[in-house]
Structure 1
């Protein structure tokens, strides 16, 4: 890897020189402004006249906890005070025009005019760039200054107004090391990975913790507006508290809550967004399609020897499907756009309302939301209703009780037409008969009309219920000792009812499927906090259990004489079927953790967790996962005299986390196959057989990770960030090994091999300009991960599984190509004009499978993102750029459309604008041929892109009228998503699976949104 070349490329792309220039300019301007402020005349108490006594309370906006030690100043004077241990304060203001300024290390400064208020309560927002913000670290919280693991906090505020229906969309590209894919269907959850792929056959899912409890349902059930913060645990030291399920990283989601001693606060927001494809991918229309058919028949439509001069005797109508000709064998005049008929402009309508507040011993938040999304493909529908209640009460000074509960009710009614068929149907055909009814077979094949799939009765509902009940006791007889009981309940019911008169070969089909899922988590957490002299200790003990169970029942039928009752009377079907399934699994675990700090500068965290899981083999039900990490706040050392250094901390950690097997993976597995035929012409009977051999010694995958990190803040908070380097090795990989069938089995699940992930992550935040009326902030994120298979079975590469020692799990293995065989060339035996020319890679004079080689990897070389936020008075503009780069041979994707002259290739339509080869287009990129080659290689191309992903413009309306009618905040906004992508990739979006020049891809959607936020 040429790191110098890589650095230059990053600098060019992100305009770093301008970034540095404007940062330094902003720092100079701010320092100048500060110097000017010192020269201003100070108002002393003697000049005050009739003072106004103001009281109030200051709390943390995220947690609602009181903040002691907050400084409150009367702006422009020397009058100041600080909050007490309960966050309370009293201050004398000179008059009603005075302005109070609230400041606290680790939080953003806030100003409040006195006006006619005698009580002013303030909720301070934690500074995202501060080392002193409070973060969730698993079974507790911790000041960032004392965090010794790789823990990142997502910047949710920058994307609050983005048109996202799933909370994971707010994370895309924002946190280095956290990789979130795109969304192409309504309400769906994107793929999420942290620090590369650690497993081959094991669980690949990131562990989601919601309000301290494991959440195993879809993130699409959660209302993004209910979320207060998201923290990401990336290294083994920080994830070790979750042991056996944490090898893929942990995402901690904390919902919003009310604040004690605050008046009821009503928040209302509404927005409307439109959705259209971000690209211009569509099928060929009539003229292009007919020209394409002509080129397929180039040996007949054009004259030899070069086949570039049209043959005047060629009648194209004789070579198309007979459904595309009239009675006189002329082409029908039809030019029907199937794709346009199956798509429309989509929309998202999002509405939120919440009420929060609290008294001295109670705080509450009640919210409701309704989201209605219709995607670009017709009947791609998603509707969600959310209700949430978060309540905390403190009946005694030593006792706190609470509940965090929500219900989510999702409607996915409706079935899409087949997008593949919408592309394949020819523009000379239509979906309708002469009487206006749907024609089941528009072309002379058994390929059905794509609108049969959407002309159905489809009822699909998903209901989610979640409740975490907790009680916390702060023992009065031993200060610092507390006990917390969490009882989390998580349930889901799925109903999918379907009926189609066109199903089962047009005989009609219907089904009713019901599934019930439930899990509970019971955690007992004992915490002890003690500070004495220069020592600070926090010890945590955990004992917990999880149980999950699922029950499924399905009934179906086909062969209906009539579907008047649809799926509500399956007994009308000729053939009836019933299926059922159920499973359960249990986990229990214990964890001990100690956090120690000496003099606030020397830090230690040590954790050990023991997990047991019912799904593992008899000899390995339990496993232990230890970790340790160190931190050094070097900026607090007396010998460090750097006036530009605010905070600096070095971190080092090492730990082990686990990955559990699939359910029943260690047991004998039974499959079915055709077994008996009773008599000549008799029916075939199925039998069962044991296909997979049990393995009583199957054990947990283990991930060992070493992490080094640096956190810093410079120039009085002007520039802050973090740098992490990690080296991660996953051993005892869960893998299904094929064994000789002479044993009576086909496979055994066992532990083999090792995978390595190494990488670097950089996060920078700068306050480029910080003036009274104008501000400009920038956040830059960069990550690089190198994935490598270190060992497998001990027998070398597993070519059939595409696994190679020393290469990425996602290595691309195939043939190199060098153009296309032209008219007049003599291709080697087995190859013809129009075929791709395969490179004889080993130089043996033959083209065969021995010429395959490693072409590169589907993994990115690196990722980066840049967020710029500009504020001018009440106007705010943010722009977010996200990018994935492949370097010289990374982030490769299959993109190899080809056309061979067959009945179907003539009959079927294809994607518009593909640069197919033909004699008149000898430099065409993709092959088109009459005869199929012996080997038809796949072509791979870079998917590198830079995307203008999110832009939001907002304006806060703040005038005397809004104040007079009691409006605390009224903000209107406009936002756009996926506005433009710079890439050389062709076809669908480069970030989407099947995203090339294929007819079975889906478009990335460009979204424009308008809305308002109101606080009363």
Structure 2
């Protein structure tokens, strides 16, 4: 019996040892896209810590139990699960358009198949195609529902982002930015785009509901790169290029003779029609005043006509005997006066250079990513530019199987030089650029001696600039005298210099019962100093012997998050729960001082000036706290349900109205996994539906950080006593956040082996309790107060398509497109705001816009242009005809625009917008182009309107458009442009005449590169070598030359820094 028992035990031991016997397995991993080896793919034995990675040829080998399951994963590919064997051939599919793709969502990650809301992901390869200083700029034209405008092309400037239309009138429309799971209120230009792995845009309320009172305008989630499993690597990237002006000027009259002739015509018509002179006397009067320093003239002449001859003949043309340039005398000295090309002097081609170096690695215990960046982006105007040094360290380490810690630290030092933007030391967008662009081509830029040589200014060592005030050469400029923007660029200064720290620590603890505790603690500091000086030699501050301004500003933010996550599978059922708490604090401090009477222009400190002119300081603080939870359910990878709830508080509201509740519900159904579904050419098909409610606490606050629920006062000096003076609006403790509820339904699909994939969605977004300003009588002491009373709706459709037109081992041709239709309108206004009825619609005016029920935002409220009186050439405008009861019965016309009526003249909001692009790769070559477009909407072309008028004193010396030469004349009576006449204040009155179709098509990016074969570079110890060329913001096609609708949602204005075209070449090496 004993021997039999021993035999049985020995047999069991032998069978057990055979079952756990290790055998060596091997294989080769390739990509289904082109058959190339996948380098660094993770190979892991399921349920163990045993694993390896593929080598440079995609091969791997390891020991594993017979019959074991292997998990093969690689970033950007769908994971594979296969049974272990010898000489395995494993093919991974790209996950870009698959429902198995894992995406970043609020407070975590989720498979795309399980996601019930609306979101879009832009990966690092797409981000790298755009030459930008901050990563969010790369979203232009890439994501359906996302519309971006950039007022200024100045280096270091950021775009305005709108997601799914406009949902407010007075509060902010900016989306919430989240970096690595933490809300970020800093300057996006301090984040190196090369550090970013992906951008995820959460578009609907269900997706952003967990962010509560800050998620109403959508969320942009930035995920930075982490170390990848496999061998460590070092990557170096360098690019050099040239910046130039991307959008040409309007078709201005760009020669002095043409300008003089045009202004003469305006004066001559004034003499004929207003002064009633005959032709000869009108000619003499117009010539006498043409270059005079009076209300009619241009102030000076740069032409010399022979003695006794007029400058402009009765035919309206320049005297053929007149010559450009003339010698004038002032204070016993002679000077030469001639016209200069101001625009050519203003703009230049400049250098853009950027360098990135990064090191990364990972194993089963942890990972790291270390990067350094240097960017120097010189502006296309002298004195402007953006420079940045940045570094990032991101790491995770598993101390124990149950404990993981992480750190994520980013530092950036930046300098933003705006000296070439503002005028006389200011940073305003309407400074130097406007002066240059709007200057007529008839004025000197420099002071020249009698021989025509540009004179030098000894004290500053610069050229001697003509300020147009007659102080040196006696010649006065009619337009913006006592100013010279090029001199301001050289002699004045406006520079912002700062340091930015963003530090994050993470602890993850695995607890019993499948519970995970995560704590994220983030601190952010941005401290910057602005220095502005104006020179003591020339301009409006010369009498003060120069000015020095100093601004010191500091943001200190911290964010504390604690989360509990639990997930479990019960057969075909999966459940995940999350509970969390978040606290956010922002502190801001402001300090300002200014002095005049500098000792030396080279000393830009307050200590270097004598007279104190102004000082000020203040602080403000913002707090947000929330408790939140989410539940997710999945049955058999086919049916998904999730719900979330957040209880939020914001310090921007009074204590009794500080807390609010926000929620979301969502469900999705993966139809292609149903047994009854058997359509071979459909790979993925998912139906999703969701509803969520979120808030917007980002309401307008006063400059000193006051909030609208409080009544505020300024402390002032009243005859030596301290007094309180009411500031702005009366406080209303009842105001609270604007609330947005959104319904979203959509279909995700992948067809023909996912060679065609996309998403089609419908959304309906309603904003309630919009913040409105109500007026108060002046006797009350306040201008008004705010209250929550209005509603607005955005309904829209979105379509995104991605397709591989051709896909072979060596050649891939793909294309993508997205299109968005959005309809916006105000759905409810309180009776107190219905102060006006226009075209049968009740509402009120706000600037040049009409806010009315049923009408979209930015509906223009303007006079209507009726053309030209063919007999007199005067402008005509429509006017209502009313009966004795005040009812409108028809229309007539009037020549006096102030007598004409106002009408609703369409909206600035586009009907359709989106983007499209295509890319081609052949062996090592790659090429791609990306476009952005907008269809519909109207933009008020301010610059064109200004350049089509010679109506009065303020227009003297301003640039004129070529179209003004097509104005009505007795020989051209069919023109739709009114006669050109000085003093005719109605010829260019604000009306729908200057509304222009806002449609455009812009070529955003062109990329061309070559990646060398690995067989060529392996001997150099390189794993990757790529050379490339890029072009960014290449061209824009719009209704009118010079018009760039991308700069503004409502009005075109060339006073802003123009867009910049960048063309670069670069090289990337990976060791």
Query: How does the TM-score come out when normalised to structure 1?
Result: 0.84
For the structure 1 residues 214 and 369, does the alpha-carbon distance in structure 2 shift closer, same or farther, using more than 3 Å as the test?
same
Q: Which sections of structure 2, spanning at least 5 residues, go unmatched?
A: 1-22, 62-69, 81-85, 292-297, 312-321, 326-337, 422-431, 449-454, 457-463, 470-475, 835-841, 882-887
Task: Give the secondary-structure state (helix, strand or coil) at the position aligned to 2:626.
Answer: strand
1:84 equivalent among 34, 46, 52: 46
Take 1:566 and 1:482, find their aligned partners in 2: how far apart are those partners? 58
Query: 1:735 touches 1:752 (CA, 8 Å); kept in 2?
Result: yes
2:794 equivalent among 743, 752, 757: 757
- Confirm or deny that 1:256 pairs with 2:225: yes
1:788 equivalent among 816, 825, 834: 825
2:844 alignment counterpart: 799
2:933 alignment counterpart: 883
**Alignment map for 1:305-320 (pairs within 5 Å):** 316=287, 319-320=290-291
2:814 equivalent among 759, 777, 784: 777
For the structure 1 residues 690 and 460, does the alpha-carbon distance in structure 2 shift closer, same or farther, using more than 3 Å as the test?
closer
Shift of 1:198: 0.9
2:652 equivalent among 615, 619, 638: 615
1:429 equivalent among 430, 437, 443: 443
Shift of 1:277: 2.2
2:804 alignment counterpart: 767
Take 2:255 and 2:97, find their aligned partners in 1: how far apart are those partners? 53
- Confirm or deny that 1:441 pairs with 2:468: yes
Which whole-Å deviations, capped at 9, do the CAs of 1:388-440 have from their partners, x for residues lacking one? 00011111111110111111111113501511211344433323334432333
1:266 alignment counterpart: 234
- Confirm or deny that 1:499 pairs with 2:533: yes
1:859 equivalent among 879, 895, 909: 909
2:509 alignment counterpart: 473
Take 2:241 and 2:510, find their aligned partners in 1: how far apart are those partners? 48
1:962 alignment counterpart: 1017
Deviates more, 1:859-868 or 1:839-848: 839-848
Take 2:614 and 2:35, find their aligned partners in 1: how far apart are those partners? 75
Query: 1:810 touches 1:859 (CA, 8 Å); kept in 2?
Result: yes
1:729 alignment counterpart: 766
2:743 equivalent among 693, 703, 706: 706
Take 1:244 and 1:850, find their aligned partners in 2: how far apart are those partners? 45
Deviates more, 1:140-149 or 1:369-378: 369-378
Take 1:866 and 1:606, find their aligned partners in 2: how far apart are those partners? 34
Shift of 1:303: 12
- Confirm or deny that 1:973 pairs with 2:1044: no
1:542 equivalent among 568, 580, 599: 580
2:554 equivalent among 508, 511, 516: 516
For the structure 1 residues 576 and 99, does the alpha-carbon distance in structure 2 shift closer, same or farther, using more than 3 Å as the test?
same
1:594 alignment counterpart: 631
Shift of 1:992: 1.5
Take 1:322 and 1:96, find their aligned partners in 2: how far apart are those partners? 77
For the structure 1 residues 293 and 119, does the alpha-carbon distance in structure 2 shift closer, same or farther, using more than 3 Å as the test?
farther
Deviates more, 1:667-676 or 1:167-176: 667-676
**Alignment map for 1:306-345 (pairs within 5 Å):** 316=287, 319-320=290-291, 321-324=298-301, 333=325, 334-345=338-349
Shift of 1:739: 2.4
The two structures, once aligned, show a CA RMSD in angstroms of: 3.9
2:981 equivalent among 929, 936, 941: 929
Query: 1:777 touches 1:868 (CA, 8 Å); kept in 2?
Result: yes
Which whole-Å deviations, capped at 9, do the CAs of 1:449-486 have from their partners, x for residues lacking one? 223432224442022110111010112x32x2101100
Shift of 1:104: 6.8
For the structure 1 residues 373 and 316, does the alpha-carbon distance in structure 2 shift closer, same or farther, using more than 3 Å as the test?
farther
Shift of 1:735: 1.8
Query: 1:811 touches 1:858 (CA, 8 Å); kept in 2?
Result: yes
Query: 1:989 touches 1:995 (CA, 8 Å); kept in 2?
Result: no
Query: 1:420 touches 1:999 (CA, 8 Å); kept in 2?
Result: yes
2:14 alignment counterpart: none
- Confirm or deny that 1:553 pairs with 2:591: yes
- Confirm or deny that 1:167 pairs with 2:135: yes
Take 1:319 and 1:386, find their aligned partners in 2: how far apart are those partners? 56
- Confirm or deny that 1:230 pairs with 2:230: no
Task: Give the secondary-structure state (helix, strand or coil) at the position aligned to 2:159.
Answer: coil
1:153 alignment counterpart: 121
**Alignment map for 1:995-1006 (pairs within 5 Å):** 998-1006=1053-1061
Query: 2:102 touches 2:112 (CA, 8 Å); kept in 1?
Result: yes
2:429 alignment counterpart: none
Shift of 1:203: 2.4
Take 1:816 and 1:800, find their aligned partners in 2: how far apart are those partners? 16
Task: Give the secondary-structure state (helix, strand or coil) at the position aligned to 1:799.
Answer: strand
Take 2:59 and 2:589, find their aligned partners in 1: how far apart are those partners? 64
**Alignment map for 1:101-116 (pairs within 5 Å):** 107-108=76-77
Take 1:372 and 1:973, find their aligned partners in 2: how far apart are those partners? 19
Shift of 1:844: 4.9
For the structure 1 residues 91 and 431, does the alpha-carbon distance in structure 2 shift closer, same or farther, using more than 3 Å as the test?
closer
Deviates more, 1:505-514 or 1:419-428: 419-428
Shift of 1:665: 2.7
1:693 alignment counterpart: 730
Greater C-alpha radius of gyration: 2
Take 1:994 and 1:144, find their aligned partners in 2: how far apart are those partners? 33
1:359 alignment counterpart: 363
Which whole-Å deviations, capped at 9, do the CAs of 1:773-809 have from their partners, x for residues lacking one? 1111111111111111011222434423231111112
Shift of 1:309: 12
2:709 equivalent among 667, 674, 678: 667
For the structure 1 residues 591 and 433, does the alpha-carbon distance in structure 2 shift closer, same or farther, using more than 3 Å as the test?
same
Take 1:803 and 1:932, find their aligned partners in 2: how far apart are those partners? 31
1:46 alignment counterpart: none
Q: Which sections of structure 1, spanning at least 5 residues, go unmatched?
A: 1-50, 62-69, 112-117, 826-832
Take 1:750 and 1:918, find their aligned partners in 2: how far apart are those partners? 51
Shift of 1:846: 6.2
Shift of 1:985: 3.1
Take 1:383 and 1:716, find their aligned partners in 2: how far apart are those partners? 46
Query: 1:149 touches 1:651 (CA, 8 Å); kept in 2?
Result: yes
Take 1:1009 and 1:421, find their aligned partners in 2: how far apart are those partners? 30
Task: Give the secondary-structure state (helix, strand or coil) at the position aligned to 2:210.
Answer: helix
1:812 alignment counterpart: 860
For the structure 1 residues 994 and 363, does the alpha-carbon distance in structure 2 shift closer, same or farther, using more than 3 Å as the test?
closer
Deviates more, 1:329-338 or 1:653-662: 329-338
Query: How does the TM-score come out when normalised to structure 2?
Result: 0.80
1:464 alignment counterpart: 500
Task: Give the secondary-structure state (helix, strand or coil) at the position aligned to 1:341.
Answer: helix
Take 1:696 and 1:372, find their aligned partners in 2: how far apart are those partners? 48
Task: Give the secondary-structure state (helix, strand or coil) at the position aligned to 1:323.
Answer: coil
